[in-house]
Amino acid sequence: MKYLIALSAFCLFTINAIAQQPGAEPAPKKELFRSVSQMPQFNGDLDKYLSDNIHYPEAALKNRHEGKVNVEFVVNSDGTVSDAKVLRSISPELDAEAIRVIMAMPKWKPGRQNGQLVNVVYVLPINFTITQPYSIEEISDVAKQPDEEPKPGDAPKQAAVFRYVEQMPEFPGDINKFIAQNIHYPKEDIKNQVEGRVFTQFVVNEDGSLSDIHIVRSVSPTIDAEAIRLVQSMPKWKPGKQNGRVVKTYYNLPLTFKLDDNK
């Protein structure tokens, strides 16, 4: 499966992510510039970074979603990136992936105005284009018996992905505690009072690692991106088993984002 990411110039758990409102006075709002004498610059080859790090979501491939996602973010005076949001949306999956890869960027060379380092708003358009036909592996809803052992000289077969198995995958520990300690309610959604349940789906591989993480039900681009980031940060799971053998298994994890009413 091949695709092109082009850069333009410029089992179920319900987890409540509660936005806590601190009692202290809020920090002063940072001054933002949109045009400065020296604009921020990515450290290195931005096209290569995107092509190496962005992943075309499986759901977007299946539905043949293509187009340009315009993302706005702030390059802070220390070079860090923050406050990413989608200005032009294509689909929840592509929006979330665009935000994820931007928030994962290394530090930039910050912008300057009158010789001083400043916080600069930057807009980055990312083109998602499927360049060749692709195939999505047929996934059975019923666990099958393992195939017979391959004969010498046979090409290796891609491991099947199951939806239902005798022993479903398990998180290694208290998943509620992990999510409560690691999830972050996006500031933009707190400001806009955005709440809801986002449904993630991913594959728990035979070694317990997670892959093919995507959104099957969206709330907002920033909440979707946070849900994907959280799942990506999880330690290895206990893999699922069928007929005594570890197998790849699909897993659905809903996350409920709810604002604290006691504000």
Output the pTM of the full model: 0.47
The residue with greater pLDDT, 168 or 153, is 168
Closest CA to 128 of 57, 233, 45, 232: 57
Q: What is the pLDDT of residue 153?
A: 52
Neighbours of 193 (CB within 10 A): 9
When the pLDDT of each residue in the chain is averaged and rounded to a whole number, the result is: 77
DSSP 26-79: PPPPPPEESS-SB--B-SS-HHHHHHHH----HHHHHTT--EEEEEEEEE-TTS
Q: What is the pLDDT of residues 207-225, one digit of tens each?
A: 999 998 888 888 888 899 9
Q: Higher-confidence residue: 49 or 61?
A: 49
- Can you give the pLDDT at residue 9? 32
Domains delineated in the chain:
4-10+32-129 (3.30.2420.10), 161-259 (3.30.2420.10)
pLDDT, mean of residues 160-174:
85
Q: Long-range contacts: 86-89, Cβ < 8 Å, 24+?
A: 86/221, 86/222, 87/123, 88/125, 89/221
In this predicted structure, the answer to whether residue 62 has a pLDDT above a threshold of 80 is no
Q: What is the pLDDT of residues 95-110, one digit of tens each?
A: 898 899 899 899 999 9
**Is a pLDDT exceeding 90 seen at residue 259?**
no
32-36, 131-135, 186-190: which is most confident? 186-190
